[in-house]
Homo-oligomer: A and B are copies of this chain.
Amino acid sequence: MLTQASLPNSAIKTRHTGTESGVGAIEMIGTVMSFVRNAEIYGEGEQVEFLYKVISGTVRTYKVLADGRRQIGAFYLAGDLFGFEAGDEHGFSAEAVGDSKVLVIKRSAIFALAARNSDVASQLWNLTTRELRRMQSHIMLLIKSAHERVAGFLLEMADRSPASNEFELPMSRQDIADYLGLTIETVSRTLTSLENAAAIALPSARRIVLRDRVALGKLSG
């Protein structure tokens, strides 16, 4: 459930000027909601009702297995849309990594729009296939060695950040570990090892400087 506030019956409330990325009319209708660090945005098994766009902060989607292992499906940064899921039920849960603002859009509104406007429909398709590609590259990460996974993850984050060679990680080591299918210790060790190899610098735990993209690229498989 949405823990921060109950959503008004008609989600069409604020007009949002979608200037960030060229996805067009889809994000024009919705409500901006705030979530504190670790707040749940939606839960696994819940009815799929909305689409979401990160306004600020970072969101993670994840699934918890019976034995407690957690797999993070994806991280969504400011500007990213999420909530494209199969079926009527969410297969993953979504949480705010840090304090975040999220634009919440009723699905039915989008579908109604899409039924009348084929441009919107094709946008919807594009966003979904983009999501597909994200998953494909996630799969490609998961089959690699720990060094390759971490190097690949850093390159991915760098490409998604405004400044390409230096950035702040919004998520914890545990989050990274659960995204990469590694333990927190292995992530930590690998980062130190990359620093020792002069591929990156770590001014602080969360701050990453890419020193040698070529070396990272080689490492990332």
Contacts and interface: CB of A to CB of B under 8 A. Distances in A.
B221 A140 contact: no
Taken together, the copies of this chain in the complex come to 2
A125 B122 contact: no
A148 to B, nearest CB: 10
Interface in A116-144: 116, 118, 121-122, 124-125, 128-133, 135-136, 138-140, 142-143
Contacts of A170: none
A92 B135 CA distance: 13
Interface SS, A side: helix
A85 interface: yes
Interface in A168-212: 181
B67 A136 contact: no
A221 B84 contact: no
Contacts of A130: 86
A98 interface: no
Contacts of A135: 132, 135-136, 139
A79 interface: no
A214 interface: no
A211 to B, nearest CB: 22
10 contacts: A63-B140, A73-B136, A85-B132, A86-B136, A114-B122, A115-B118, A116-B118, A128-B129, A135-B135, A139-B142
